[in-house]
Amino acid sequence: MKVAIYGLKASEDQKEFFVELFAELERKNIQYTVETAFKEILESELSMSLRSEVFSCYEDLQESIDMFFTFGGDGTILSAATIIQDKNIPVVGVNTGRLGFLATLNMEYLFESLDNILNGEYTISSRSLIEVQTEDAEIEFPFALNEITVTRRETTSMITVDAFVNGEFLNSYWADGLIVSTPTGSTGYSLSCGGPIVHPGTDTFIVTAIAPHNLNVRPYMIADDSVLDLKINSRVGEYFLSLDARNKPLSTDVKLRLKKANFNIRIVRPHDKTYLMTLRDKMFWGSDRRN
């Protein structure tokens, strides 16, 4: 078996954990490769010495990788998705901070679950992505696991987003922007703007306006096999396109076509940790917070 190791940062108080992790992998004869920048962080910040293979992008991530471990939070998994893409490698999200919706395996409990995970005793949660297509702009990795957002740029004025579903006019959104979210992203930016929480197994996208001018505009769910076309108008002739945490300024001449990507990201969940359990924990449902 061979696994990939990925993270965005590491702190000195995590050194003992990572030393034990690599030692455990070697004891189990598990081959591993470490993302180049993360290997440099572990060596410089934690004074570790790693003699491992490295990878840095989609092209040099080997197809033979059986499992992809991320260390961080949900944002780390979103970043990892740009490397994994359509390679269909299961992702184990190890949370090094607070409980996440994607990274649900807390760092202090990893070693209790490691044998089960390496032995294939887990559940796969398959997560859909949104793809952006344009004719007039080049977008590196034009996919989002959480959401695609169109927002105003360098202006206090609203923008207008004309939206069409399968060629039929849906609405002209006068707002600070528009969010198109996957079920995975329904607990993120969309939720903070009044969007619904949607189970990740649901085949939908959620369209949510950001601070709409018309208060009767409400979030709208469409089937994820739909094609959503967006045309943006702004006083400054530009807008921001965000794909998860990646931002790109575009001219209003650039129209967007959004559709479901032809691949999924596969998230590993231990058998004793379900989505609804995570939701209850994260949202404090059923907890009396009055005292």
CA distance linking residue 241 with residue 274, whole number of Å: 33
19: alpha, beta or left, given left = phi > 0 and alpha = psi -120 to 50? alpha
Structure tokens at 257: 């076509």
Please answer whether residues 52 and 33 qualify as being in contact, where contact means their C-beta atoms are separated by less than 8 angstroms: yes
Single out the residue of 198, 182, 58, 209 nearest to residue 127, CA to CA: 182
* 193 within 8 A of 174, measured Cβ to Cβ: no
Catalytic residue among 13, 60, 66, 74: 74
CA gap 178, 160 in Å, rounded: 9
d(CA 17, CA 12): 10
For residues 226 and 248, give the distance between their C-alpha atoms in angstroms, rounded to a whole number: 24
Q: CA quadruple 264, 8, 101, 63: dihedral positive or negative?
A: positive
Based on the residue annotation, tell me whether 66 is a catalytic residue of this protein. Answer: no
Distance of CA 89 to the CA centre of its chain: 15
Nearest alpha-carbon partner for 69 in 27, 13, 122, 141: 122
Q: At what angle do helices 110-118 and 15-27 cross, to 10 degrees?
A: 30
- Between the alpha carbon of residue 180 and those of residues 60, 148, 227, 256, 259, the distances in Å are 31, 5, 12, 12, 10
As given in the structure block, the two tokens for residue 33 are 């490769």
Q: Which residues are tagged catalytic?
A: 74
